[in-house]
């Protein structure tokens, strides 16, 4: 099993350009998440999808959009990239959104390192 995969691994954009970060999981999980991690800071939730067909805003959604394409795939789009969006982006998945037990343990992908010039 590959677990959670993310593409691309690295990306450099110019201000104003758009791009989509791809994420896929092969664990048949219902819930998926997008986080950003800035140096010296904790992970901050951008958007999440409790189940196929639903998406909700997290802590820092401005400047991003998401699509839960199917149960496996959850993409993050930057419509007009800004230097403040330079960060490492992590996708994660869990069996359920919140159950108080091991089922909601999140499994993370390897991250996408994005630089916006």
Partner 1 sequence: KNQVEQSPQSLIILEGKNCTLQCNYTVSPFSNLRWYKQDTGRGPVSLTIMTFSENTKSNGRYTATLDADTKQSSLHITASQLSDSASYICVVSGANAGKSTFGDGTTLTVKP
Instruction: Please give the residue ranges that form the binding site for partner 1 (CB under 8 A).
Output: 4, 40-45, 48, 50, 58, 90, 92, 97-98, 100-102, 104-111
In terms of Cβ atoms closer than 10 Å to its own Cβ (0-12, 13-18, 19+), residue 71 is: middle
- Check if the beta carbon of residue 36 is closer than 8 Å to that of residue 89: yes
Contact 62, 75 (CB under 8 A): no
C-alpha radius of gyration, the chain, whole number: 13
Question: In terms of CB distance, is 17 or 37 closer to partner 1?
Answer: 37
Compute the least distance from the CB of residue 7 to partner 1, in Å. Answer: 14
Looking at beta carbons only, is 36 or 78 nearer to partner 1? 36
How many residues belong to the chain? 117
CB of residue 14 to partner 1, shortest distance in Å = 25
Residue 63 or 111: which CB sits closer to partner 1?
Answer: 111
């Amino acid at each position: 099993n590959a677990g959670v995969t993310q593409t691309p691994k690295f990306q450099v954009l110019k201000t104003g350009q758009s791009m989509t970060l791809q994420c896929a999981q092969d664990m048949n999980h219902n819930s998926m998440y997008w986080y950003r991690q800035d140096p010296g800071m904790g992970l901050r939730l951008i958007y999440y999808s409790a189940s196929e067909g639903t998406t909700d805003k997290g802590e820092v959604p401005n400047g991003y959009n998401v699509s839960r394409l199917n149960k496996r795939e959850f993409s993050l789009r930057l419509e007009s990239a800004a230097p403040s969006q330079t960060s490492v982006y992590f996708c994660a998945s869990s069996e359920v959104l919140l159950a108080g037990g091991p089922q909601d343990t999140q499994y993370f992908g390897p991250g996408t390192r994005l630089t916006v010039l």
